[in-house]
Each structure stands twice: as structure tokens, then as C-alpha cells.
Chains A and B, each alone.
Chain A
């Protein structure tokens, strides 16, 4: 095998398992692009840029065409958690009064807002501030906002969180909210990408996006760059198609890449600018996968099980989980968070008139569906990728990601799939219980073995 093996992130004091996840190398370029993006954003103030803080859907192409710089709150919260640097922000949030059962994304990012505010009021460069602990530095580095936009589908907390951010900055800053109906399905014709409710919701959100553009024009004094929007959506559509093509290649047995590789590609597709570099990145990922297929290189040295992962990411544990599953020869081939999200229906985007297709993608947030819709997508993917069992991440503080999971599990079982749940959290390590994951995973894999014996 010629491909470099990447080691995992470990929790402090945890035993180090043999690193066996054969992660894609091409995704490292994405890591670099994301780092550069944040570094650039941290200097926005010095460069005199207007900064928008936003949460939820990938409205960054709109913000880019409005001539502002964008700071995605959750993305920063996820980044801190993935780097194990979330603690200062969460402590700040706790001191402010947040109970630890509250969404840990919100707690982290609101903690960052508090730290950012503190830094702004000290009017000093954070890096030179005496007495600021190292870990706190990154959490406090967000440039203070000039505007807020909330665009959170599928979760009332996501919407209310920005209502609080707005208050943390003394209700002084302009603030616009885009609201999304849940894709619920009251009517018999309702379903994934179809029915009257889908059409109405799409139009409702598209209308709000036009209003958002007016708001941005009004607040910034910049004329909205429609041609710029069309251009970035052109690149995003191409990048999204390449990502889908690459995902599709993972139908192969053994799979050349796994869910954890796709997790590494979330940030680039979620908030980096739509440009040739983004297309090149996903071309690189696809090419590496094609090469792996040609050379017979697989994601796991010995793939014995094919699983799906349901739920939002456990950002503290990405590397850890990647190796945990690899140790058991369990290839997590697909997941709701990676496969049913992030510009994953690029055919909906009309490059000449992209707003409706964008609105539709925002509605297609993987947590904005009824259980029935979820079953259509997730169980459909299980069939496509030859999945034998679903691992559900019961995300302690994210009711949005856990809505419908138990129902979905029942539906999966009816189709003969094995299911298991483990507890963890999106950005709070304390809720993760390794023993539970370990024992339940082993039990599920044993059941799959028994099932195979029966069938053979």
C-alpha cells in the first residue's frame, strides 16, 4: 500500500489504539484552505472589511456577492472542538449562565462571542494581550460582527442562538433572519424533493433570500454582485458534483474512502468561497479515490462490515472514532451528515438564476426532515452502499440531530438492518462514553456475523 496512514486525535490520557484508518491524503489540502480562510478572517477588522456573523445554511455565496466577509458560528465552534480548544469558550459560557445540557455548539460559539466582545472592549491585539491563556487566544479571535444573519433550518435553537448573539452585542447591530419550514409532509403527495409543500417551502425561502439581499445592500451600501453570485454558484455546483461522483465511487467493495474522510471535506463545501480552488480540491479528492480503486487500495486494510453513521458529527472525536471503527474492520461508508447535505442535489441549481436552487438546498439541511423523509434518504443510501448496520450518534445536546432517530432505527430494523446507539455530543466531550460505543459496536458486529451465517 502506498498511501500514507494518518494518525488520529486522542483524548488526553486515552490509550492509543493502533492507527489503522487509511485516511485520504487529498483532504489535507482542504484543511490548509480552511486554516487560511480563518486566518484571513481574523484580520478582517484590520483590513477594514465588513463582517457578518451567520449561523445555519451555507449562505456564504450571497454574503460574498454582497461584498462582506462571513463568519459561520457553528463552523468555528466545530473547529475549536475538533482542535480540543473549546474549553475556554465553554467556560466563559458557563460563567455567563449556560446550563451544560444546552446545545454545545451554541454554548461554545456564544462563549466565543463573549470572549470576542471582551477583547474588542480591551481594544488590544489578542496575541499581545498579557495574561490571556494560550487556549483562549483562538476562541477570542473572531472579528466582532457588523451584522448578523440567521439562516438556521431544522432547529429552533439555531434560530434562538442568534437572537442571543444579537443581545450579547447590545442589540445595536443590524440583524436579518431567514426562516425555514420543516419538511414535514402533511399531504399525501409530500416526499423528498416533491409535492406541493416542497414547492411552497422552496418559494417561501427563495422570497426571503431576495429580502436578505436587499437588506445586505441597504446595510452595506454595496450593490449586490449578481454576476459574482452566478459565478460562485457555477463553481460550487461543479465542486458539489465532483463530491457526489466521488461519494458514488465508494459503492465499491472494499470502499476506497469512508465517512471520516467525507467529514474532513465538510468545511470546504460548507463555507469556503465558490472558486476554481474549491473545484480543484474536490477534483483532487475524486482523483485520489479513482487512483485507489485502480491500485486496489482500500480505506481499511480488512473491510469486513459496511456501516452507516447517523447524526451530527462528534467533533471532539473524529479521528478517535475513525480508528475505533477501523480497529473492528468496520467501514463506515455513508452518513446522513455527509451524504444528505452540503449542496448534494446540484441539479437543482440553475447557474443563471441560482436563488431557488439555493433556497432548496438550505431547506434540505439533513436535520430539516420528518422521519419519513429521513427514511427515504438514509435507508435509500443504505441500499445504494450495501450497508448492514446503522450507528446512531445520540447527540446529547442536539435535539435536532436526534429527532426521528429512534423511529428511523425501527424502520431500518424492519428492513433487516442492524442498529446501535451511542451517546456523545457535537462539541462537548464529557458526554461521550467510550465503553458504551465499544460494547454496543461489538454486539452489533456479532449480530451481523450471526445474520450472515444464517443466510449462508
Chain B
């Protein structure tokens, strides 16, 4: 097969898996006889599920319109949480032997409580991680919660989880993140021309696939990409920011890129935020996973965490300097509290640095792409001809 065709083929197969995680999970279960555990964004240490011999799958938003879920969660919740509940109410979470989470976004907690009500026979476990990173009591609390997770997963899977197994899982996930980060580096350096849709497929599939299997495909893909000639772009370079927990619709990326734009970097969850940080070395694997929780927020700050010493906006400013991105599109899922609360801080920083930006609110029910396109074009115009207008948002 030609290299370009093989690249397409690998990414296409990963995209198909990412689109239908339950098919993949069912197949994996029949191949291995292991348990499949649904885990929820954004801070869950998947390594511990993997070490239990189970398949951790980050439950994705489903494209289906919300139906029965309406009777369990109000319509003024973010699309992700409404979709989760709807999936529970329509039998789409049946492929999971348990649902586990550690995050405390208020909307997510409400959604999971509704799931627990709707699926009384499915184990649903919350090991709530304290979100304030600054107090001395937090670190031992997180370690304790990881210990509880370990115990609960041992019960679910019927086997003790050894330290060695966790270390092996950490190594496997670190390798996988490293492979994905390499693709990101190549995109930033203009070495490859993968589209936003394709980049998303790489990360989303990592969220749902067996890690070794995913890494094998990524390693092959990387060797192919590295053999390709550089792909510098004369288009306007943008950074995509935000969009917690679930993936923006690929059509949105297609539309943005159709406006003479190349996306050089992002900090979205189904993007760089997910792969930014490896689990640090530590003899005690629980300590290592605890360290990861803190290290991630230092690397790519998230407004769902409360930390005095880091700022998302400073991170963004630095990221733009590194990549040469000329502007930012901020993607906020409608009703996402932690993002709405933080957005003005981002905006202030963009103004201070003279960075053009555009705010786009996304919705589960679909996007007015034509209207949004006009706004993206306006942003591109501002970047190309800075004297025109300064504030398209």
C-alpha cells in the first residue's frame, strides 16, 4: 500500500472505533473475556483500570438527539452530561460493567446520579478528587481516593491489583501519550498536514481502545508520517482552546479549516489536554498517579480545578508564542460552568496581548455552521488585515 493511503487507512480505522466505542468494547470483551469499565472525564487515571485487567473506556458524547434523558436531567445542562444520561436511559451504556469517575463538576455529578438511578444494577463509583490543588490536605486525599478506586476495581474484577501491574500500565500509557505528543509536535512544526478531524480521531480512539493496540497503530502511523515531506502552510494559524469533556463535532473543524485556516495546536480535552502529561516516576504507583493529577494541571491548567499558582491564560499565551498561532478560537460547550466562569480571564489576556479570538458556543443539538463560518471568516480577516477590526467575538 502507498504510504499516504496507509496513513489514511490507519486514521480511518481509528476514527471508526472512536465513533462507536461500544462496538469496540464488545469485540474486546469477546476476545479477552475481561471487564469493560466506563470512565468519565477529565482526571481519571485509566492506568488503574488497565492494571485490573479491564478495558477503561472514556464514555463519549453520542450524536443522537436527547430523548428519554429529558426526564432525568434538565435541558440546561451541557450536551455531554445530557447525552450521558440519555445513553443510560436508552440502553447504550449496557456494554459497561461499571461506571467510574473522580471529577466533581456539578453537572457531571448530577448526570451520574441520574445514571445510577436509571441503571440500578450497574456499579457506579465516585472517588471524588478534591479540586483545590493548593491545600496540604489535598495530596493525601487524592492518594486515599486512588486507593479506594483500586479496592473497588479489585472487587469488580475479582483479582488483586499489584504494584507491578500498575507500574506496567503506567509505562504503557506513558508510551501512548508520548506517541500522540509526537504527532502534536509535528503538527506544531508544520511537518504534517493532518486535519482537525483526523487529529481528533487519534486522541478519541486512545480514549476507548486497549492502550497497547492503540500504541501499535500509532507507532506505525508515526513512522509513516515521519517519512512524509514537510507540509508547511501559508494559511492563517489558529489555536483551538477549551471544549472540556467531550469532542467538538468534526464538522466544526472542517468548517474552520475551510476558512483558509490551519489549526496548529489546541488545548481541548479530546486533544492535547488529554495527552499533555506523563505519570511521573515513583516507587509507589499510587503516589505516581497522585503526582500525575497535580502535574497535569501545572502543565495545561484547567478551570475545573482550583489552583492559585497556575493560570490557563498564561499557558495559552505561552503556547501561542511557541507555535506562532495568530489567533484563538475558544470553544465553549453551552452551559459549561467552569468554562463560562473563566472565559473573561482568557479574554482579558487576549486583549492584553493583542491576540484576536473568537468565542464559539457549541450545542448538542447541532451547530449553525453557516452562521459560524461568517464569524470565523471575520476572525481570519482581522488576522490578515489587523487594522480592520480588533474584536470579532
Contacts and interface: CB of A to CB of B under 8 A. Distances in A.
Interface of A: 96-99, 101-103, 106, 150, 154-157, 159-164, 166-167, 171, 175-177, 179, 181-182, 184, 186, 204, 207-208, 211, 370-371, 394, 396-397, 399-400, 402-407, 410
Contacts, number: 139
B117 A371 contact: yes
Nearest to B338: A160
Nearest to A368: B109
B135 interface: yes
A276 B127 CA distance: 42
Interface stretch (B73-81, B179-187, B212-220): B73-81
A367 B107 CA distance: 12
Given A101-B340, A106-B341, A182-B126, A403 B113 contact: yes
B344 interface: yes
Given A164-B342, A399-B77, A156 B130 contact: no
A182 B343 CA distance: 26
A162 B332 CA distance: 21
A98 B348 CA distance: 12
Contacts of A402: 74, 76, 110
B134 interface: yes
B315 interface: no
Contacts of B390: none
Contact of B106 (A155, A162, A176, A396): A155
B74 A407 contact: no
Most buried by A among B106, B125, B127, B345: B106
B106 A207 contact: no
Contacts of A106: 341
Interface stretch (B48-56, B157-165, B301-309): B301-309
Interface stretch (B136-144, B201-209, B249-257, B381-389): B136-144
Given A156-B131, A161-B341, A403-B110, A166 B308 contact: yes
Given A177-B135, A184-B109, 9 more contacts: A99-B343, A102-B337, A103-B337, A156-B338, A160-B337, A181-B130, A208-B135, A399-B335, A404-B110
B109 A403 contact: yes
Contacts of A160: 303-304, 306, 337-338, 341-342
A243 to B, nearest CB: 28
Contacts of B318: none
A156 B113 contact: no
Contacts of B76: 101, 394, 396-397, 399, 402
Interface bin, chain B = 35 or more
B191 interface: no
B128 interface: yes
Nearest to B103: A156
B211 interface: no
B381 to A, nearest CB: 22
Interface of B: 71-74, 76-77, 104-107, 109-110, 113-114, 116-117, 125-128, 130-132, 134-138, 141, 148, 152, 303-304, 306-308, 311, 332, 334-335, 337-338, 340-345, 347-348, 361
A410 B68 CA distance: 13
Contact of B74 (A186, A207, A400, A406): A406
Contact of B137 (A96, A99, A207): A207
Nearest to B125: A186
A400 B335 CA distance: 13
A371 B115 CA distance: 11
Most buried by A among B104, B304, B311, B340: B340
Contacts of B308: 163, 166, 171, 175
A186 B348 CA distance: 42
Contacts of B126: 182, 184, 186
A396 B73 CA distance: 12
B347 A399 contact: no
A204 B141 contact: yes
B64 to A, nearest CB: 19
Given A97-B344, A98-B340, A167-B345, A156 B135 contact: no
